[in-house]
Amino acid sequence: MNILILGGGGREHALAWKIKQSTSCTKLFIAPGNAGTAQSGENIDANINDFDAIKKLCLKKKIGMVVIGPEDPLVNGIYDFFKNDEEIKDIIVIGPSKEAAQLEGSKAFAKAFMMRHNIPTAGYKEFDESNYLDGLEYLKKHSLPVVLKADGLAAGKGVLICQNHIEAMSEFELMIQRAKFGEAGKKVVVEEFLKGIELSVFVLTDGKKFVLLPEAKDYKRIGKNDTGLNTGGMGAISPVPFAHEAFMQSVIEKVIEPTILGLQKENLEYKGFLFFGLIKVDGEPMVIEYNCRLGDPEAEVVLLRLKNDLVQLFEATSRQRIHEEKILIDSRSAAAIMAVSGGYPGEYEKGKQIDFGYLENPEAKKSIDVDGGVMVFHAGTVKRDNEIVTCGGRVLAVSSLADTLAEAVELSIEILSQIYFEDMYFRKDIGFEFIS
Ligand code: AMP
Ligand code: GLY
């Protein structure tokens, strides 16, 4: 079968690398892809939110399956677009329907869904222009810190944790009266602050049943010991040491099962990855957010540990037979470390030539695969005149597998010491709280 992946970051390179290994994959296309995905398939320049263009591409390349990496096309309804079009309705689409993607696309929808299905989450209230003044009163009396969330997608920037009432009220005003996060952010969820440690749990679901994938933890801050500005993610680890069996059992019973049952009860069509952003509070899981896709950089560790044929899992998902699949997970630890452009997440320059050191050597390249324990996943890279150059803030994710987390981190750092581009930066302390 010919397969098309939509997206162009580290997650999509990890998906491409994994899908290419499947015996069911004939030709692989990635739109738009990056210099790394070009090693697993053919990149095609396309706007992934232009569904007519994606349809044309699917017909031209005889695509049998489309795997969607990022959330925007899903929230914009790409699943429904395919299913409602005679010419492309039989193409397998990995992702939820537009309505189900609201679990990520609307914080208010997700919160109300959790309330309806008794899924543990922080207490909240929702406000917009119609009850703006009530919102200000509510905020004045709210415990601190208080969490404000823009309802719609805001490229990871729509959550504010406010330490005092004045800050909370002025941000609230900016969001509702001045559309700080756009029209969809004019609705605001005001939520209790939860104190605990976070992790990401992933399932692949066919809307009725699910399989549990390896859990992961990502590191969002730019600086050592989780300090400084938030980024798209500076690294990830899997497994997560505190996600032991009893805790994961609780996650399954209290969070995952009621969510999948909720999808069924509400007739929300869902055939894809579901990502639970969780926080462990007093030993129990609570949901911070749902995402309707794999995480980035979590995918770069999750897919490294997953031993199954991913296309086979997708086919089972599409036939609603996911429960017949047995998930096989590498018991080793994985650590991904992101190399980013100097200045990121603020302003940074693009177009820096990347030197891969001894990794360029064909002999060394052979060992840079999962058996050798290491993968260099590309994120913001592009090929220009036969050179690979940077074209984004997050540039490469070096993922390693080893017997212990400390060794996996060490291995990724060692590989990163071979890679150079001007002003390259990476965190050396990914997984720090679990390494003595
Ligand atoms: P989100 O965009 O929903 O992933 O939120 C971004 C980040 O904000 C999360 O990863 C958490 O670190 C933090 N956050 C969101 N909601 C809460 C909450 N209720 N309590 C504490 N931290 C939160
Ligand atoms: N790493 C978090 C996310 O992909 O949303």
Strands 197-205 and 188-192 turn out to be: unpaired
- Total domains, the chain: 4
Query: Cα(215) to centroid of ligand 2, in Å?
Result: 13
Length of the chain: 436
Task: Give, using CA atoms, the residue closest to atom 2 of ligand 2.
Answer: 295
What pLDDT does residue 371 have?
A: 58
Query: Cα(363) to centroid of ligand 2, in Å?
Result: 34
pLDDT tens across 367-381, in order? 565 556 899 999 999
Give the helix ranges, DSSP H, for 180-305.
245-251, 257-265, 299-305
Q: Is the CB of 300 under 6 A from ligand 2?
A: no
Q: What DSSP element (H or E) covers 97?
A: none
CATH of the domain at 242: 3.30.470.20
Residues 220 and 144 in one domain: no
CATH of the domain at 416: 3.90.600.10
Angstrom distance (rounded) from CA 145 to CA 171? 13
Residues 364 and 266 in one domain: no
The amino acid occupying position 78 is I
What pLDDT does residue 332 have?
A: 96
Angstrom distance (rounded) from CA 280 to CA 285? 5
pLDDT(188) > 70: yes
Query: Cα(279) to centroid of ligand 1, in Å?
Result: 9
- Helix count (H) and strand count (E) of the chain? 14, 20
Q: Is the CB of 380 under 6 A from ligand 2?
A: no
Query: Cα(233) to centroid of ligand 2, in Å?
Result: 7
Residues 347 and 234 in one domain: no
Query: Cα(346) to centroid of ligand 2, in Å?
Result: 18
Angstrom distance (rounded) from CA 298 to CA 197? 16
Q: Is the CB of 235 under 6 A from ligand 2?
A: no
Residue 117: exposure state from Cβ atoms within 10 A (0-12, 13-18, ≥19): middle
pLDDT tens across 42-99, in order? 999 999 999 999 999 999 999 999 999 999 999 999 999 999 999 999 999 999 999 9
Residues 265 and 369 in one domain: no
Query: Cα(352) to centroid of ligand 1, in Å?
Result: 33
The amino acid occupying position 41 is G
Closest ligand to the CA of 158: 1
C-alpha separations of 229 from 188, 199, 232, 324 in Å: 23, 19, 10, 43
- The answer to whether position 105 is within a domain reads no
Give the helix ranges, DSSP H, for 67-156.
71-75, 78-83, 102-105, 107-116, 132-140
Q: Is the CB of 194 under 6 A from ligand 1?
A: yes
Residues 6 or more apart from 38 whose CB is under 8 A from it?
Answer: 30, 383
pLDDT(311) > 90: yes
Q: Is the CB of 277 under 6 A from ligand 1?
A: yes
Q: Is the pTM of this model over 0.85?
A: yes
